[in-house]
């Protein structure tokens, strides 16, 4: 037997495109005893409605449900007003975290030793630059440099003249 029509009705049923008459056809089909194995899995879906139709609620059902709901006290819910500052607080926190991350990242880019702030390094770099640009080498004197400390001039001259 060809069950294409039933399969088409099932496809339309899953898409919620069937009419009430077509759903009755499906219920009648699945209430039979002889159903193909491929469609057997859908039988409980259509037969449970017939089985559940026999269940009737008692006459006092409405009264019992209303009695249950009347016993509970309904507490009024107060609406809270949230200020603009409270609404933006998470945004402020996120901005603070980002600022901290960038600050720490900027601090980590500098070397940790004290040599990057040492005026002797600046003196040596300027001496090397003068050597690179000049045709003749003229030794620089530490006394001519104003930002180099006076006591470091000997150490710089000794370091430069070792080469």
- DSSP string over 93-157: HHHHHHHHHHHHHHHHTS-SSGGGG-HHHHHHHHHHHHHHH-SS-----GGG-SSS-GGGHHHHH
Residue 56 scores a pLDDT above 90: no
Distance separating alpha carbons of residues 119 and 125, to the nearest angstrom? 10
Among the ranges 42-46, 72-76, 121-125, which has the highest mean pLDDT value?
Answer: 42-46
User: At residue 150, does pLDDT exceed 80?
Assistant: no
Of the candidates 67, 14, 20, the one whose C-alpha atom is nearest the C-alpha of residue 45 is 14
pTM over 0.75: no
Q: Is the pLDDT of residue 11 over 70?
A: yes
Per-residue pLDDT at 159 exceeds 70: no
Residue 145 and residue 122: Cα distance in Å, rounded?
A: 10
| pLDDT, tens digit, 9 for 90 and up, residues 43-52 | 888 887 666 6
CA 69 to chain centre: 41
Q: What is the pLDDT of residue 17?
A: 92
Q: Is the pLDDT of residue 66 over 80?
A: yes
Domain ranges of the chain: 4-52, 114-161
pLDDT of residue 86: 92
Mean pLDDT score of the chain: 77
17-26, 60-69, 74-83, 104-113: which has the highest mean pLDDT? 17-26
Q: Tokens standing for 95?
A: 């901005």
Q: Band the pLDDT of 107: cuts 50, 70, 90.
A: confident
pLDDT of residue 155: 59
């Amino acid at each position: 037997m060809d069950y294409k029509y039933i399969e088409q009705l099932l496809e339309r049923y899953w898409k919620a495109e069937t009419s009430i008459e077509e759903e009755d056809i499906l219920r009648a089909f699945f209430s039979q005893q002889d159903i193909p194995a491929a469609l057997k899995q859908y039988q409980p879906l259509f037969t449970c409605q017939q089985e559940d139709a026999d269940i009737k609620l008692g006459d006092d059902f409405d009264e019992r449900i209303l009695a249950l709901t009347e016993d509970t006290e309904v507490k009024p819910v107060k609406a809270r007003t949230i200020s603009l500052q409270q609404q933006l607080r998470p945004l402020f926190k996120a901005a603070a975290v980002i600022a901290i991350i960038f600050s720490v990242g900027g601090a980590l880019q500098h070397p940790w030793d004290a040599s990057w702030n040492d005026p002797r390094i600046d003196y040596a770099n300027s001496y090397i630059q003068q050597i690179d640009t000049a045709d003749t080498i003229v030794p620089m004197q530490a006394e001519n440099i104003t930002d180099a400390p006076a006591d470091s001039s000997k150490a710089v001259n000794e370091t430069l003249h070792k080469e």
